[in-house]
């Protein structure tokens, strides 16, 4: 007796399943692309990693040091008191020169350091220049850093912030080294605290170091020539200086020839 035949469709089903199994993913849908930014799998492959990574954080920003006064060396800078916030710097051309220039510096903000606020102004100093051991009659100006606390003059106070002594004893006459008239030289003065008592009139003659070490070293009105040891400025600059030096800022004068000040 013959067996009944299977329908053709039933015979084809196992072969269709086998064909799909052998074809695998090559005949299926394309795999999803890796997300951009995954290390090693960027949109352009491993080469795109650098573009896909986040930037590194910047390092600390360096803080600038407070500005120092130009052309002053470490020894000179060390002599400026920490509390001083005004410095009148008088720089001689040479050790034996009587010509100099002056600049007023201020450090209203210690974090910012020193800043020039006036000058440069032309100035004169001692006839024979500068010395680090001034003695009476040597015709040289003493180098160093000195406080400025007292002012005065023959003329009325022009608006000085320092204590001001108006007195006729500031009158002077005669001639300078080159025959120039000295009249009016002491119309305005600021006492430099070299070998003197602070807090008194510039006319006070107390000499703590002794008379042989000289004294009466002032900033005064220029008479267009060298001095005996003082520093002199044009009259209008003296008025400006008197109105600017502030005892609340503990002003000092830094004075000497350029080479000495760079030490």
Q: Which residue has the tokens 């020039």?
A: 116
Q: What is the pLDDT of residue 59?
A: 60
End-to-end CA distance of the chain: 131
Active site residues: 220, 230
- CA 167-169-174 angle, to 5 degrees, is 135
DSSP assignment letter at 231: E
* 240 vs 229: CA distance, rounded Å: 22
Distance separating alpha carbons of residues 64 and 125, to the nearest angstrom: 36
pTM: 0.76
Give the single-character DSSP code of 255: E
Predicted local confidence at residue 134, as pLDDT: 98
pLDDT means per 10 residues, the chain with 263 residues, are 42 38 38 39 40 52 77 97 97 98 94 94 98 97 98 98 98 97 98 98 97 97 98 98 98 98 97
pLDDT of residue 112: 87
**How many Å apart are CA 172 and CA 178, to the nearest integer?**
16
Question: What 3-state DSSP class applies to 5?
Answer: coil
Spatial CB neighbours of 180, under 8 Å, sequence gap ≥ 6 = 223, 224, 225
| Tokens standing for residue 138 | 């040597």
- Helix, strand, coil share of the chain (percent; to 5): 20, 25, 55
Contact 196, 83 (CB under 8 A): no
Query: What's the confidence (pLDDT) of residue 21?
Result: 34
Beta bridge partners of 178: none
For 155-190, b where at least 16 C-beta lie within 10 A, e where not — what string? eebbebebebbeeeebebeeebeeeeeeebbbbbbb
Give the Cα-Cα-Cα angle 252, 77, 220 (nearest 5 degrees). Answer: 30
The first and second tokens of residue 198, run together, are 């602070």
């Amino acid at each position: 007796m013959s067996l009944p035949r299977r329908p053709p469709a039933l015979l084809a089903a196992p072969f269709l399943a086998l064909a799909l199994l052998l074809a695998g993913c090559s005949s299926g849908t394309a795999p999803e692309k890796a997300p951009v930014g995954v290390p090693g799998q960027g949109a352009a492959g491993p080469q795109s990693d650098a573009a896909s990574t986040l930037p590194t954080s910047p390092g600390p920003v360096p803080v600038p040091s407070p500005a120092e006064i130009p052309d002053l060396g470490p020894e000179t800078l060390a002599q400026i008191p920490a509390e001083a916030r005004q410095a009148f710097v008088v720089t001689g051309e040479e050790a034996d020169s009587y010509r100099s220039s002056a600049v007023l510096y201020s450090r209203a903000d210690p974090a910012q350091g020193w800043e020039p606020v006036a000058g440069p102004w032309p100035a004169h100093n001692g006839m024979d220049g500068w010395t680090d051991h001034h003695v009476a009659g040597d015709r040289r100006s003493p180098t160093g850093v000195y406080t400025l606390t007292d002012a005065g003059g023959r003329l009325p106070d022009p608006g000085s912030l320092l204590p001001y002594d108006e007195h006729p004893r500031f009158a002077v006459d005669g001639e300078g080294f080159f025959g120039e008239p000295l009249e009016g030289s002491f119309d305005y003065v600021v006492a430099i605290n070299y070998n003197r008592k602070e807090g008194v009139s510039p006319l006070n003659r107390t000499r703590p170091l002794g008379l042989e070490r000289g004294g009466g070293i002032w900033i005064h009105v220029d008479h267009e020539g060298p001095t005996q040891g003082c520093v002199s400025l044009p009259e209008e600059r003296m008025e400006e200086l008197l109105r600017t030096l502030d005892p609340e800022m503990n002003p000092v004068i830094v004075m000497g020839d350029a080479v000495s000040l760079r030490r």
